[in-house]
Amino acid sequence: MGKPTGFLEYLREIPADRPPLERVRDYKEFHLHMEEKHLRNQGARCMDCGVPFCHTGKLISGMAAGCPINNLIPEFNDLVYRGRWQEALERLHKTNNFPEFTGRVCPAPCEGSCVLGINNPPVTIKNIEYSIIEKGWEEGWVLPNTPRSRTGKKVAVIGSGPAGLSAASQLNAAGHTVTVYERADRPGGLLMYGIPNMKLDKNEVVLRRIRLMEEEGIKFVYNANIGVSHDAAQLRKDHDAIVIATGATLPRDLPIEGRSHAGVHFAMEFLTANTKAVLDGTAPAISAKDKDVIVIGGGDTGTDCVGTSLRHGCKSITQIEILPKPALERTPDNPWPEWPKVYKLDYGQEEAAARYGADPRVYLTTVKKFTASASGPVESLVTVEIKWGKNEKGQFVPQELPGTEKTRPAQLVLLAMGFLGPEQALVKALTLDTDPRSNIKADHNVHTTNLPGVFAAGDCRRGQSLVVWAINEGRAAARECDRYLMGSTTLP
């Protein structure tokens, strides 16, 4: 806990952001830092709540409640309050390999389960986590964790997203020789190409950690698409074990009339092309400049498409969501400690509102078709309002409202409707068993596939999820892989 009466004395504070109309002119991170005295006050708000729910890491009603990697949150809050920053960093690294990632992009289910949040604004856990790790880097406390000796065992990690990186970090700490294979030209997976630079800087944050991992002895191989450009069976022969952490990168499509028109893209095509352009100093392969842009789908990916389109200089931006607008406060069927499903302006919508005067989201709406002249690029799309009702099987389904069709101009359409599961080339190359959703079949906390010595972790096993769940799974898969190689394990 922090100060016994801190939650009564101090209000919740979060760091200021750069002004929306200023930050849309570049790709620099938009959160500003807080002064130490304010951070210590925020740590003081952590209550002596008896049973902390913030670090429980459970799924309640299908949503994360509490920290999935079980961060020792009351402990590091207390240490920050007392100004013992290096000890706070040690506590944080006990459970989290990459707090600089989660401190930036995690939606903070810990705060949704904070006991103080029952009747007051919760403790600013995410910002405290971010501040601890950044102070650690600034002070030189984040050092290579090089093992004292090597086991002689070789492990291949396929995929360098958060699950793959956490598995590699843990297996290397156990003394195994780890090689990470990444199909892209840069490391990081989702962290590199799935999250825009303004949320997670690639050179100053992602590559900073990769360089440290290389100092620890981990090898990275790029442009290695295992099961496509590289033989999967040979990789298995060359290593004592494999951890598969390829993510769930098969996007959900919208197979309606006009889908084949140029200018209709999956969100990740757009975001990846933009990040490549930012890093290479070139023009993006897919540009929103001077275009009417429509993003279909909500969530973080949809928000990132909004923010990126604004930075391109789009003519207009609209975000279409099939679900209803969330309530302003928790509803009776969404009680604490569930994740609060409440309305908020994320950074992209905030920027759009500053630029155009209103939240760009349109709720309870779906798209019926894309239209274009002859075989040219998309020019518009037709939407219709819907309501949710039960069908003959008792399932809630969207039902169109007659007379609500509307044609909207669009020269760029971005599909941000989530992901169906992992791409199947590697799955088929290794003849891996899959579950009914096409994910690699492996039980949570065991992570063994139908092949001895082959483990699966992250979104390729559980389906599309949070970065913090990916870190949880990478650590767990590393633990079980180490047990398989050595007969026992000391990994947490």
Q: Domain holding 380: CATH number?
A: 3.50.50.60
Q: How far is CA 190 from CA 183, 194, 197, in A?
A: 12, 4, 12
- Summarised one tens digit per residue, pLDDT across range 37-55 is 999 999 999 998 988 999 8
Is 148 inside a domain boundary? no
Express as a percent the part of the chain with pLDDT over 70.
100
- With respect to residue 311, please indicate whether it lies within any of the assigned structural domains: yes
Q: Are strands 316-320 and 292-296 parallel, antiparallel or unpaired?
A: parallel
Q: How confident is the model at residue 134 (pLDDT cuts 50, 70, 90)?
A: very high
Domain final residue, candidates 376, 397, 417: 417
What 3-state class would DSSP assign to 56? coil
Residues 409 and 432 in one domain: no
Counting Cα atoms < 13 Å in the Cβ hemisphere of 434 gives 20
What CATH number does residue 56 fall under?
A: 1.10.1060.10
State mean pLDDT over 178-186: 97
pLDDT of residue 156: 98
- For the segment 340-347, the average pLDDT, to the nearest whole number, is 95
Q: Report, as an integer, the average pLDDT of 353-370.
A: 97
Q: What number is the average pLDDT over the span 253-281?
A: 97
Q: Quote the CA–CA distance of 229 and 223 in Å, as a whole number.
A: 8
| pLDDT score for 289 | 98
Tokens in use for 373?
């002249």
Q: What is the 3-state secondary structure (H, E, C) of 258-295?
A: CCCCCCEEEHHHHHHHHHHHHHHCCCCCCCCCCCEEEE
Q: According to the model, what pLDDT value does residue 50 have?
A: 85
Mean pLDDT for 210-235 is: 97
**CA pair distance 405, 389, nearest whole angstrom:** 19
Domain range for 238 is 154-249+420-486
220 in Cβ contact with 210 (< 8 Å): yes
C-alpha neighbours within 13 Å on the C-beta side of residue 319: 30
Is 481 part of any domain? yes
> Across all residues in the chain, what is the average pLDDT?
96
Specify whether 359 is located in the same domain as 345: yes
Give me the percent of the chain exceeding a pLDDT of 90: 93
Tell me, what's the pLDDT at 394?
87
Q: Are residues 158 and 72 in the same domain?
A: no
- If asked whether residues 162 and 244 sit together in one domain, one would say yes
Q: Is 416 a residue whose pLDDT tops 80?
A: yes
Q: What is the mean predicted confidence (pLDDT) over 360-371? A: 97
What are 61-97's pLDDT values in tens digits? Answer: 888 899 999 999 999 999 999 999 999 999 999 999 9
Of 196, 419, 382, 192, nearest to 288 by C-alpha is 196
- Residue 385 structure tokens: 């309002």
**Mean pLDDT calculated for residue range 106-111:** 95
User: Looking at the predicted structure, is the pLDDT value of residue 99 above 90?
Assistant: yes
Give dist(CA 38, CA 3) in Å, integer.
14
Regarding whether 67 and 134 lie in a shared domain, the answer is: yes
Judge whether residue 348 has pLDDT over 90.
Answer: yes
**Both structure tokens of 343:** 């309305």
Q: Are residues 410 and 311 in the same domain?
A: yes
pLDDT tens-place string over residues 287-321 = 999 999 999 998 999 999 999 999 999 999 999 99
Domain assignment of residue 1, yes or no? no
Question: Taking 80 as the threshold, does the pLDDT of residue 204 lie above it?
Answer: yes
Please check whether residues 386 and 257 belong to one and the same domain: yes
Q: Are 208 and 112 in a shared domain?
A: no
CB 153 within 8 A of CB 224: no
Half-sphere exposure of 116 (CA within 13 A, CB side): 26
Region 165-182: mean pLDDT is: 98
- Of 66, 68, 88, nearest in space to 77 by CA: 88
Is residue 1's pLDDT more than 80?
A: no
| Global confidence as pTM | 0.95
> How many Å apart are CA 205 and CA 418, to the nearest integer?
26
What pLDDT score does 373 carry?
Answer: 87
Q: How many CB atoms lie within 10 A of CB 183?
A: 23
